Structure 1
Amino acid sequence: MKSTKTVWAPKMLAIVLAAMLILPGCGGKSGDSADIVVIGAGGAGMTAAIEAQSLGAKVILLEKMPMVGGNTVRAEGGLNAAGTEYQKAQGIEDSPELHFEDTMKGGKNLNNPDLVKVLTENAKDSVEFLKENGAELSEVGKAGGASVPRIHRPEGGEAAGNFIVVALKKKLEELQIDVRLQHEVTEILTDKDGKVSGVKGTDKDGKTFSIDAKAVILTTGGFGANLDMVVKYKPELQGFTTTNAPGAQGSGIGLAQALGAKLVDMEQIQIHPTTIPGEGVLITEGVRGDGAILVNQEGARFTNELLTRDVVSQNILAQKDGIAYLIFNDELRQNLGATETYFEMGLVEEGQTVAELASKIGVDAAALEQSVKRYADMKNKGADEDFQRDDMRLDFTKGNYYAIKVTPGIHHTMGGVAINTQTEVLNESGAVIPNLYAAGEVTGGVHGANRLGGNALADIVTFGRIAAQEAVKALN
């Protein structure tokens, strides 16, 4: 059985600490008020707060952890968007319609198509929003489940999540948004007519606070770090590690449930195919997308590496011990800056030749050499005759050669609070809960049975902005 603990490797800890935000003057007392209270300072919450305050609202952003960023800090790959200036510059033909089709197919058509349409039609504007706020995602790659390259990331392939968090943190400071860390909301308040009217909770000293608000935006993330809750909805995940930040406990789902909110797709929990066994450290989708192949402990390739996460995960779990190795060379290392983190963390084995690499990872050298040679031959022929991979970037003719040992781990919870296309939270009967909005992983319906890599960052920025815009409209 896999360990349920999350180990903080030194480099990963450094990344998280780099994204910490301790703002001077962030306090709060009972009786405060704001136009909008945003609960949760991950990517969706930071986006919503920036958008709302830029539109003239007085915003208070609350975060229960001692830092901003949430799970967004750990996002590695990038943001899916179709029809961007960056795609056009590279001659990539894409459209929101194709992005929609890929997303619905990836989610096994369990997705709410209305929400998916909003996501795919507005994602390119999310790329522009990030650019305007200091986080330009100018490089375009390909992720699993995408028909064409559309995952946008920082130049040089740096991990996108931390890059975005650092930029949005700076914008929060520039706009002097009232950010209150270690403030945990325990209840969303309503008036006598059932309309949301504020929040109450406790601060780091255990003191109670309350804030009156005309609207509340729920951006508390999912429940991927709450292993009891994960197993409640999907018992077969007992014992898996998680890639999630500690704050991803599902608290916002409970807050919304207390008001009668409807939940959707709660049993849809994604495991990511490439995490470090026993540690829950995520290896970005970009490693496979930029050309790495997967082999098992016998040195044999066993899957199309660019299939959706659920399929690749199941294919890895079908191998001996549920273990696989990502195999790549210097060409990928030089083109994908995110890999340097894994070298610094000591997660990569290397060899000057394929045979030397095989000896480092305990795999039969002849078998691994044969797998790499066959892949290189097929790449040169222009067709993957074994697994029909349609994007073969590496020919593996030059070293050095590298391997990262991986196994699937709990990564994303697709289920959550039901919302409409205006991000208004819905109750069990489908009616709007007045003045309550939600965005990001706390919501359900966007990703269906399986989230495509790159759609989470698109989700949090796109719907975070819409939640802010709708909440501000309702103020007038």
Structure 2
Amino acid sequence: MSPIIIVGSGLAGLSAASQILTHNIPVVMLERGAKPGGNSIKASSGINGVPTRFQLDSTDSPALFLSDTVTSAGGVFGNSTGSEKMRRQRLVEKLTGSSGEAVNWLVDEKGVELSRVCQLGGHSCARTHRGKGKLTPGFAIVSSLLESLKGSPLFEMRVGVRVTGVVKEAEEVVGVEYLSGEESGRVDGPVVFASGGFAGDARGLLARYRPDLAGIPSTNQAVEGTQPLLESVGAGLVDMEEVQVHPTGFVDGGDVEAGVKILAAEALRGEGGILVVGGKRFVNELETREHVTGVIMRDARRLETGTRQWDVQVVLDEGAAAALGSHMDFYLWKGLLKKAAVGELEPELQSTLRTYAGVVSGETKDEFGRTAFGHWGLREVTPDAVVYVGQVTPVTHFTMGGAAIDERSRVLSNQGVPIRGLWAAGEVTGGLHGQNRLGGSSLLECVVFGRIAGDEAAAFYKSHYSSVQA
């Protein structure tokens, strides 16, 4: 009996597989890496959801989340017209309107703990969920879904398998071709692509669409993007030049030139952390990633390194550090953040901390317009007060472009017509985020559209493939 094929084992693929199995349909998941999880397993800031029982800010709503998303998306979204504008609008409406349900599904049906909520850049309210325990949200979510899938006799995971082609016959996708080591093969069935973006494809798609980003480090491993596989069967690609440069990837003092960086999660700033250049703050740390990155590139000093890097520091107090839990344990273990007494810092930074403490306590307004300070608790800045300092730089992080899909996760042709037998979800798709993605919406996108893709593929399978198990 033919299975439904899922390409990629990140959160979008796992969410799709979870839904397909509820229909008692077999799944074969093909993962090119040696281990499952993709980039999703590394996600560190959380997943957006509105409304949820964990939100303390009752002013939030799906409509406000939608407004924040459209504002973040910028001109790419606002300047679209006709059917393309309607397509983008429906995607955003589906994402934001389904966000509370997505978080509830993970918590109530998959047993993921997501009770801590914080406000990230570009958001009007605290709506980004993560757990209070030691696991980062990406690892907690992905490992929970993997564990639930392993128990099903209808689920098969194959790692080290690179999909090399999509098979299309009579205007319908009917399978994929692959390489596994030296062995080539083919699997027949409907296909869900959940293979991720191309931010690590520096010499391929990134060089083709954004040559101006050459030399900037990335949070992604160097693997080729899979969008051309979809393009080869007629899929329309949109927004391929829209690449998110995250403002904060850690610069490891032991390997300053490293081309792949560990992300300094946006939650560091969401919980109260600040960014400084020469000891001085220079931006509202909770502006959109696009804005913060632009100010860094404009105002900060370039490091004299082979890779393109800028000289910026992130600073947290003990309150912010405590709220970050396992993040801090990992960053300190890796030596990416270092503990210091205020009296050991340069005078400019000491002065900055005193000014910021006054802003947090409400004594003065922030000159950069920041109004949310997470769990920052340092109000009396004494020489023996403890802070944590790390060096960061902008990094290529996420690609907003990819295969065009509709709100049913169906891959669309260049003419806007659904391609039979083909769905996609997650970063391999385009058109949802415009020119800037809000933090916390990548995991959300994977859950919302991954589940939709799974249900849609299952419905198609039941109608077009025989011998479905009862």
TM-score, normalised to structure 1, is 0.87
Q: Give 1:158 shift.
A: 4.1
Check if 1:276 corresponds to 2:250. yes
- The letter of the residue matching 1:441 is E
In the aligned structure 1, how far is the partner of 2:124 from the partner of 2:133? 22
- The letter of the residue matching 1:118 is K
In the aligned structure 2, how far is the partner of 1:141 from the partner of 1:381? 20
Aligned to 1:104: 70
Q: Name whichever of 55-64 and 142-151 sits farther off.
A: 55-64
In the aligned structure 2, how far is the partner of 1:410 from the partner of 1:157? 27
Aligned to 2:30: 62
- The letter of the residue matching 1:144 is G
Check if 1:126 corresponds to 2:102. yes
Aligned to 1:317: 297
> Please, which of 372, 387, 412 is the counterpart of residue 398 of structure 2?
412
Q: Give 1:136 shift.
A: 2.6
Aligned to 2:197: 222
Q: Give 1:395 shift.
A: 4.6
Q: Give 1:407 shift.
A: 0.5
Judging changes above 3 Å, is the alpha-carbon distance between structure 1 residues 387 and 464 closer, same or farther for their aligned structure 2 residues?
same
Deviations 1:413-461 (A, max 9, x none): 0000001111111111111111100000000011100001000000011
- Is contact 2:238-2:402 (8 Å) kept? yes
In the aligned structure 2, how far is the partner of 1:180 from the partner of 1:395? 48
Q: Give 1:156 shift.
A: 4.2
In the aligned structure 1, how far is the partner of 2:291 from the partner of 2:365? 18
- The letter of the residue matching 2:213 is L
Q: Give 1:463 shift.
A: 0.4
Aligned to 1:208: 184
Deviations 1:126-167 (A, max 9, x none): 112212113231211111000000001112474211111211
Percent identity for Structure 1 against Structure 2: 35
Paired residues in the alignment total 428
Name the SS of the counterpart of 2:430 in structure 1: coil
Q: Give 1:225 shift.
A: 0.9
Aligned to 1:139: 116
In the aligned structure 1, how far is the partner of 2:283 from the partner of 2:365? 11
> Please, which of 366, 370, 381 is the counterpart of residue 385 of structure 1?
366
In the aligned structure 1, how far is the partner of 2:175 from the partner of 2:330? 42
Unaligned runs of 5+ in 2: 78-87, 252-256, 303-309, 464-470
Judging changes above 3 Å, is the alpha-carbon distance between structure 1 residues 383 and 471 closer, same or farther for their aligned structure 2 residues?
farther
In the aligned structure 1, how far is the partner of 2:58 from the partner of 2:343? 37
> Please, which of 233, 254, 261 is the counterpart of residue 259 of structure 1?
233
Aligned to 2:254: none
Aligned to 1:15: none
In the aligned structure 2, how far is the partner of 1:174 from the partner of 1:69? 17
Check if 1:344 corresponds to 2:309. no
- Is contact 1:157-1:336 (8 Å) kept? no
In the aligned structure 2, how far is the partner of 1:414 from the partner of 1:50? 25
- Is contact 2:202-2:222 (8 Å) kept? no
- Is contact 1:134-1:168 (8 Å) kept? no
Aligned to 1:180: 158
- Is contact 2:57-2:125 (8 Å) kept? no
In the aligned structure 1, how far is the partner of 2:407 from the partner of 2:228? 22
> Please, which of 417, 421, 424 is the counterpart of residue 431 of structure 1?
417
TM-score, normalised to structure 2, is 0.88
Unaligned runs of 5+ in 1: 1-32, 359-364
- The letter of the residue matching 2:235 is A
Aligned to 1:161: 138
Q: Give 1:334 shift.
A: 1.4
- The letter of the residue matching 2:202 is L
Aligned to 2:287: 307
Name the SS of the counterpart of 1:143 in structure 2: coil
Aligned to 1:4: none
> Please, which of 308, 317, 325 is the counterpart of residue 329 of structure 1?
317
In the aligned structure 2, how far is the partner of 1:167 from the partner of 1:188? 30
Deviations 1:280-339 (A, max 9, x none): 11011110000011110x211100000000111111222112221111111112121112
Query: What is the root-mean-square deviation in Å for CA atoms of aligned residues?
Result: 1.5
Check if 1:451 corresponds to 2:422. no
Name the SS of the counterpart of 1:381 in structure 2: coil
Name the SS of the counterpart of 2:367 in structure 1: coil
Judging changes above 3 Å, is the alpha-carbon distance between structure 1 residues 263 and 127 closer, same or farther for their aligned structure 2 residues?
same
1:33-72 correspondence to structure 2 within 5 Å: 33-72=1-40
Q: Give 1:350 shift.
A: 2.1
* Deviation >6 Å, runs of 4+: none
> Please, which of 209, 232, 247 is the counterpart of residue 208 of structure 2?
232
Name the SS of the counterpart of 1:165 in structure 2: helix
In the aligned structure 2, how far is the partner of 1:245 from the partner of 1:53? 30
- Is contact 1:157-1:335 (8 Å) kept? no
- Is contact 2:317-2:377 (8 Å) kept? no
Check if 1:285 corresponds to 2:266. yes
